[in-house]
Structure 1
């Protein structure tokens, strides 16, 4: 889950509100933590906790139990697999060797597979401030949280079930919660922002956690992939770089789902290019809502929308605003393409702000930033301040992943704690430091370019939903088209759906098959 910067106008947290906090910490690797002993795992029905040689924690960190190991057998898309699940924590330490955080993870490893050949994928969500339950129970894990087919916004009646599209047949999986999210707990909340809540600090923490798991699990020679959603796109780039520079670990590939690739591409309020990149999503959603987006015409229609947005539309945005008949022609074409009423388009002067209530509200329905075809009854059809306009996905049905993961962890993984699973921490989001040092915002596209050049075997898989206004598919296409080295190693895959495209069963199945093909080339 990604909390996009432009939701500041709707009262949701801003990705850019933390640019005034202290400068980033200097880079320094964490010293090796004391880790949980590898224990003999019991059957799934019995569960187990492994003896852990851990420090004496205090406060919330002391409420996390020892590692739990369970055995499972299940069938995924015709593949019967026996696997071991380990739910536990990794201890990060500061430069003086003192524990700084307990990082919660769940690892799924296929029984009997040769570790030197078996890929392992490390998962994280975004936000910043989101736990990994979204990808865990939404896309790749052994179980899925399914929403009612007739009402995908009904989180109250979502149910857990075996995930037929789990990635387990193709890869072992390690799901990691970022510090301050899920069940990953900093040992000192007063120091957490400086230690973890920033682009570089965050990457350093993940790189160390991945190194710890890989070392203790004897998987340092396995093919390895990073899988991130939303801000997890930025995170995957930065973590790959930190792994190489700080842990001497080189990844085989990156898998990005609905990724934010660079903050500048989401700055619709000040960047005309970012504004133009949202327009194809508006157009795709409008076509879908009018049943005009068909499988045999989708590629052509999306290409046309992309060409218009980055051609005539962007040209109008960056030049002198049209007036008179030229303005009417411009605004009418935008209205026709997007379905936004022409009076609203005119008020916005053609630069549509996706988070504005009057753009999301139409005919008594309020549409989501995360899926522009998904709507709820508008609680304020007469109009309301943008700051009071709710977000159907972020504040509605998406919250069901938190309690569902607590249930799944306790019943299936035998990992129970009185701590509430912190699905989306808005304080972490508000505290985030986006700077790369010297007071500048971090830009990840240059980092990605260097990774592709330095690592000639690294490949990148990008998945986007047509209807995602939080991280529009046009941003991924534009980045791919402007990478000078390794462009042929970046594959872009588009699916029917929004930011959480995997909530649609047909798109989830297609994503899994495409990831399987991607991983088979490792």
Structure 2
């Protein structure tokens, strides 16, 4: 009696096998047709790969679906112009109200592997006990993955990762503030439509230029796609070009940079103290700013002034005096005079051997950006192929400096036009037009690329009626990519989780 049902099941399976085989072959054939219809380098992109996984966060197991694939872009004539690579992580049975976060890095010219394997994804790249060994970095489960509280879609802009245009020469059409924001907004809209996620609260996460991009994309989504985001997280963002690019040649820019140099020295000496840091901040926007804005001090006043700067930063007093207190890039070579080391702009507390000790100025690569963090590229390409099932012969581009050089900021390519780059108006408009919108800005204390005091200055000058209770600044030990430090990554993730949980409901208009 027990044999008969098994026999029937076997017979049924045998009868269905040809149909299932034909269906599978048909699906594969359709995917092959779609791939073969692509032109140029896009022929190297495979069909989307969907895989199932599980992650443990704390005492909770999270079952999730990973999708590594592309979103196609088309021109007005209906012809495909490009494809944007993305990786999505969606918790199973997450419910329609589960937040959905779209993340991207900056550059311009950076792929999302930095945020992906450095902060939010289910895997994180471990750089060893000292946090700087790229040669032996290991991919491990991420106990602080943001998948704990939001679904994730990581996006690589055109020219980065595996995102390409059909014709190589067309890529430059995307290398501008507006075109970039439009293409990312289009990709987000496509993902939402393809996956029926219109009811999910939507967030943007951007690092560095990606923070600037987040403000621009949020505006485009609202204006052109009819998609209103619930909030944004900006990590080490560019907000005001005039306060960052060569700003240390001017009194205010130098004053906004000084606290980061002070924090770096405290960190190098393992003596960081928030009280001492607040004293440096007060000095920076007080005596330091007013002195730089006036004629240079003389005599005893000069010795006292330049001596205080030297003690704060570790830069020898004669170097400080020679530059009249405007420190510029002198910290790179002179923060630890005689040590034979150079400091990174991405973390001024991070010292590395000087490859050109005979030179008076910095000639080498940055020890962080061009050093161990480059391992994110190779690690992600291997992870995507072997764990996510996205197999392509195309080279994964982690960071393309040529894109940055060719970038159109609004007034032309590179150069002075980037000084006019501003996201402040976008932030103001988003806060004013969307009463549910809230913003979290995060910085590392010792970041000299995007000093935290610039963001504080921007926040302090927002109308209180817009910013109160809706815009916050959080600071962490470390530099531009402070999340490479496990304890700081955990602290930031905890703050981000609270940010999502505290999202305000939209208020009715008066």
Residue matched to 1:98: 79
Question: Are the equivalent residues in 2 in contact too, given 1:69–1:413 (CA < 8 A)?
Answer: yes
Shift of 1:491: 1.2
Shift of 1:436: 6.6
Given the alignment of the two structures, is residue 406 of structure 1 paired with residue 381 of structure 2, yes or no? yes
- Structure 1: unaligned runs, 5 residues or longer: 1-47
Q: Distance in 1 between matches of 2:161 and 2:369?
A: 16
Residue matched to 1:7: none
Shift of 1:401: 0.5
Question: Are the equivalent residues in 1 in contact too, given 2:314–2:336 (CA < 8 A)?
Answer: no
Q: Distance in 2 between matches of 1:256 and 1:77?
A: 26
Residues 444-495 of structure 1: per-residue CA shift (max 9 Å, x gap): 1112111111111100011111111111111111111111042121111111
Residue matched to 1:22: none
**Aligned ranges for residues 78-477 of structure 1 at < 5 Å?**
78-115=59-96, 117-150=97-130, 152-193=131-172, 195-267=173-245, 268-294=247-273, 298=274, 300-354=275-329, 357-359=332-334, 362=337, 363-386=339-362, 388-435=363-410, 441-477=420-456
Q: Distance in 2 between matches of 1:442 and 1:281?
A: 22
When the two chains are superposed, the root-mean-square deviation of aligned CA atoms in Å is: 2.0
Change (3 A) 1:342 1:201: same
Paired residue total: 467
Q: Distance in 1 between matches of 2:268 and 2:421?
A: 37
- Structure 2: unaligned runs, 5 residues or longer: 1-27, 504-510
Question: Are the equivalent residues in 1 in contact too, given 2:332–2:345 (CA < 8 A)?
Answer: no
Shift of 1:188: 2.1
**Which moved further from structure 2: 86-95 or 137-146?**
86-95
Shift of 1:160: 0.5
Q: Distance in 2 between matches of 1:481 and 1:436?
A: 28
Question: Are the equivalent residues in 2 in contact too, given 1:285–1:467 (CA < 8 A)?
Answer: yes
Moved beyond 6 Å, runs of 4+: 436-440
* RCO comparison, higher one (Cα < 8 Å, 6+): 1
Question: Are the equivalent residues in 1 in contact too, given 2:332–2:348 (CA < 8 A)?
Answer: no
Question: Are the equivalent residues in 1 in contact too, given 2:316–2:335 (CA < 8 A)?
Answer: no
Residues 3-38 of structure 1: per-residue CA shift (max 9 Å, x gap): xxxxxxxxxxxxxxxxxxxxxxxxxxxxxxxxxxxx
Structure 2 SS opposite 1:123: strand
Structure 2 SS opposite 1:491: strand
Residue matched to 1:3: none
Question: Are the equivalent residues in 1 in contact too, given 2:88–2:152 (CA < 8 A)?
Answer: yes
Change (3 A) 1:205 1:359: farther
Shift of 1:269: 4.8
Residue matched to 2:4: none
Shift of 1:305: 1.6
Structure ID, larger Rg? 2
Structure 1 SS opposite 2:325: coil
Shift of 1:50: 9.2
Q: Distance in 2 between matches of 1:383 and 1:132?
A: 35
Shift of 1:365: 1.4
Change (3 A) 1:422 1:49: farther
Shift of 1:381: 2.5
Change (3 A) 1:270 1:173: same
Shift of 1:372: 1.2
Q: Distance in 1 between matches of 2:42 and 2:323?
A: 48
Question: Are the equivalent residues in 1 in contact too, given 2:47–2:69 (CA < 8 A)?
Answer: yes
Q: Distance in 2 between matches of 1:355 and 1:148?
A: 30
Structure 1 SS opposite 2:98: coil
Structure 1 SS opposite 2:147: coil
Residue matched to 2:40: 59
Q: Distance in 1 between matches of 2:76 and 2:252?
A: 42
